[in-house]
Structure 1
Amino acid sequence: MTRHARNCTAGAVYTYNEKKRDAAESGYGTNAQRLGKDSVKSFDCCSLTLQPCRRPVVTKDGFLFDKEAILQYIVTKKNEYSRRLKEYERLRRAEEEQLSQEASSKQQARMERFVNAEKPAMTPAHSSAVGERPSTSAAATSSSSSATPSTSSTSSSSISNMTNGHEKKLPSFWLPSECPNAGAAKAQKPDATIYCPVSQQPLRVKDLIDVKFTLLKDGDFKRSLIAKEARYMCPITHDVLSNAVPCAVLRPTGDVVTMECVERLIRKDMIHPLTDRKLKDKDIIPLQRGGTGYATTNDNLQAKEKRPMLQV
């Protein structure tokens, strides 16, 4: 393969670098970018505010939230449910009124048909009483019917969409009000369940577990806690906690320990090392952490941008 100059365009080979450059300039093809450290949530940050938690709580699925933020989220969802419930009741009452009106109109139509069916039985007596008038009216009726056969046949045989009273309506079938399914909204009862904003699993206030982080004893009291990169440690092994260290929350006390401590020490006897309390499998909650520079921790992190393909 021959070597190209920087601005050489006469080569027969379309190199990978040229393809990536053209794709970036033209807006075609797959767009991939490595996430930096600032784009990844820290393990001790709230999943809603993305800030370090002041009063951390964790769900049974291991997602960390600030207690104030998650309670405000739950209150907002409850208010939204109340609003949707009122709207559902309003639509349901409107549907009931419409059904009652349709039932009354059908009943009225049946009564009118019954009354009209009884009228021809009274016509002979009436015609015998008035003498020659029925024949005259019948002749007039027959003459009028014979005079307008073309009009009725024309209206019945027409295929135009402007007949049968539609001439005053705009033939704008692309408008939402002219669609076949246009009409009043259907009443659908809202779901009262509140779901976790991250895992989309049912969320209840009583399922939130208070988390207790153990401060790292580094002797540096000049900097604030937020300014430090290493803030917490495992209370048992004193290992520094970070996104690169898998962690777990012990449900009875809320202590955050490393998964290495769980596998090597806790799971052998299933006893809490700090309180000597018997533990169960559900008492060990793996803490969901942010990503790192390694692909194994970013298996759930995906971002897609659909763009046209660049055909060569």
Structure 2
Amino acid sequence: MAAPFQFFQQIKEHVGTVAAQQRAAPAFEPVELMCNNRDACHAPPALGFISVLDYAFEYNAGLGPGMTDHWNAIRGHWKLLGPPLRPPTEAVETYHRELDLSEAHVVLLGVTPELAGLGATMMAVDESSDMIAGIWPGDTASRKAVKGDWLDLPVSDASVDAVIGDGCLSVLGLSTARRALFAAIARVLRPDGRAGLRLFAGPETPDDPAAVQALALSGGVSTFHELKLRVAMTATGRAPDHAIPVRTIAERFDALFPDRQELSARTGWDLPVIATIDVYRNSTAIYSFAPPAQLVAEAEAFFNDVRIAPTGGYGLAERCPLLVLRSPKV
């Protein structure tokens, strides 16, 4: 298992290897990202000496315009979102209970407003200026939000008491990107530091679409936002990525629920809330919904102490546990 700094060196070496292959074979076949059990979407062939890994990091690790545009679009519908996509009170309390943040200097990945009050001091890091302007509850003497890159956090090595995030692993489309984030977190944590990331964790095999459809139409799904996650988890790709293009979620939803009026009538969900799925339609982002065991295994390359903690009893909470990370490897 690679320590954080060794991991980035391995990334660099891999990029060089792939670039050399491309120079030797210009017709190098593009990598397949499995989108569901039948289809595959292809990362485009490299231009020049840019590797598939570069492409993955640029567009799926929160570094490029695709993910920024996606979150800028979501910002306009933020007030319509709810649990489990946004953390309810019992999930926020889990961060307190598991991480002991009352006197901690905290780095928040993203600008989740429900988490903005945690810690003695906080720096929130988000790549989207629009999200900071529109979602962040505001800087104070003890907290501030900055535009930045999660994989190159704007803090010194071993200087932070705690790192927290909500659903941040699922916005990374590749296992490679998730491991890079674990490495970045390990770099900035003090030796006695800790991290907590609430997961949107999928099953080992995709859920049955017909079962999800029946559950929703019978009133068995608590919120429309729970349904969006359940629909996504019917179409995730193979291990280790467990990825799905965001626009595929909208397409799968349309196939399962073509009559929104009927869905609204059976569930009581307002049509504007159901329409939040349309933000996904033109997105170029890729999400991932890896099972807990996969995420624990990835994290264990960078932390000596990794465990899963429940976050409450809200709808789909069983798939939204807190991944708790301690004792970073150096």
* TM-score greater than 0.5 by the shorter chain: no
TM-score under structure 2 normalisation?
A: 0.21
Larger Cα-atom Rg: 1
Which structure: greater strand fraction?
2
TM-score under structure 1 normalisation?
A: 0.22
